[in-house]
Amino acid sequence: MENKKTLPLLNNVEPETCFDNQIDLFRFLLGNNYEERDKLSNTFDLWDSIPRYSTSRQAMVKIRKEKGFLPLKQITFKYRGRILQAHIQAARIIDKKTGQETDYYPSANEELVEDALRKLAADQKELGFFDKKNYTSGVVFTLYQLSTELQKRGHSRSYPEIVLSLNILAGSLIRISTTDAQEGEGFSLNPYFSGLSASSRKKLSTDESAKWTVQFHPLITQAIDVIGYRQFNYAQMMGQKNQLSRWLHKQLSLKFTFASLSTTFEMRYSTIKRDSGLLEGYALERQAIKKLDESWVELTENGVLMTHNKKEIKGERSKILDVVYILTASVDFIKEMKSANKRHLLVSEKREHFSKED
């Protein structure tokens, strides 16, 4: 394959080992035609359950003014019944023009860039790679390709903005640890992107055809290896204007796998607040609940849900203690879940077949 020769080396990754059956399974998106497959991508069970993009750029400005830097951020969340913690260390970026150093946590901008790169890896055979020997995965791309994908999904970004996001993702560290000792204790510490490199015969900042390479986080590599991902409507998710709506869409795609016209799915405000990290900072609880209500409206208007109802749990003096949301999936979402279930089964069977051949 000619594309193997153009793959830049990162962490001793050998180009000829970077194309594997696992990446072919990752690209196998179950749709009836190109238009349907173009809307699809993969969401990752554990990695997409970590509240790793929960601080807005506006909030960062406020913290910098108070402290002069961004401190280590700690978030506690629950994943499939287990209490986990994420510690996020901000990236320190140097402005080449001014020499000024600025701290950034990964935020909504970086989340969009990561999602777009994952789509490129799943969409185009010559871009995504999986290296079994060195246990890495990633994508080779140009700024033009990434910019075009973002623009196509309604999130246009300039090249400098994209490069800033790439550097933030490569420079930010995230430590994920267990705290409950249910199955022992452990942690992992890695950058959001395990590797980032670029090469050009011209000036990188102005060369839209320069080759860039990203190595994904090890949890993505592991998920690609063990089929820890699910097909979902990426185009619809990217079309949600609200970051919380996009987070909820991914969570529904991962958890509401049994969707049907006769079943509902319940989510609590307290759970969403804890596990998304996107409802902190409101002066009043009612303001955060209103923000969440707006996301349910957006998901319903955009065809993810058919209906959404809520039941407030109140204490003394009618104080709201929690809110239970009862969700009914749309007909289209039900079809998508059935296709995702079928695709997951087919991919698992093919993986087992490849394992026997090896």
186-201 pLDDT tens trace: 889 999 999 999 998 8
Show contacts of 265-272: CB within 8 Å, 24+ apart. Answer: 265/326, 265/327, 265/329, 266/324, 266/325, 266/326, 266/327, 267/324, 267/325, 267/327, 268/322, 268/323, 268/324, 268/325, 269/322, 269/323, 269/324, 269/325, 270/322, 271/78, 272/248
179 Cβ contact partners less than 8 Å away, ≥ 6 residues apart: 76, 83, 84, 85, 185
State what percent of residues in the chain have pLDDT above 70. 92
* Domain limits, the chain: 1-231, 240-358
**Hey, CA dihedral for 215, 354, 48, 40, is it positive or negative?**
positive
62-85 pLDDT tens trace: 999 999 999 999 999 999 889 999
In CATH, which of 3.30.2320.30, 1.10.10.10, 3.40.50.1220, 3.30.200.20 is domain 240-358?
Answer: 1.10.10.10
SS3 231: strand
Q: Could you tell me where the DSSP H helices lie in the chain? A: 21-27, 34-38, 57-67, 108-123, 143-152, 159-171, 218-226, 234-238, 243-255, 269-276, 285-301, 331-357
Its pTM stands at: 0.91
**Hey, CA dihedral for 267, 337, 297, 235, is it positive or negative?**
positive
CA atoms of 358 and 13, how far apart (whole Å): 21
Whether the predicted pLDDT of 242 surpasses 60: yes
Contact 217, 117 (CB under 8 A): no
DSSP state of 156: -
Look at residue 96 in the predicted model and tell me its pLDDT: 86
Q: Which residue has the higher pLDDT, 30 or 125?
A: 30
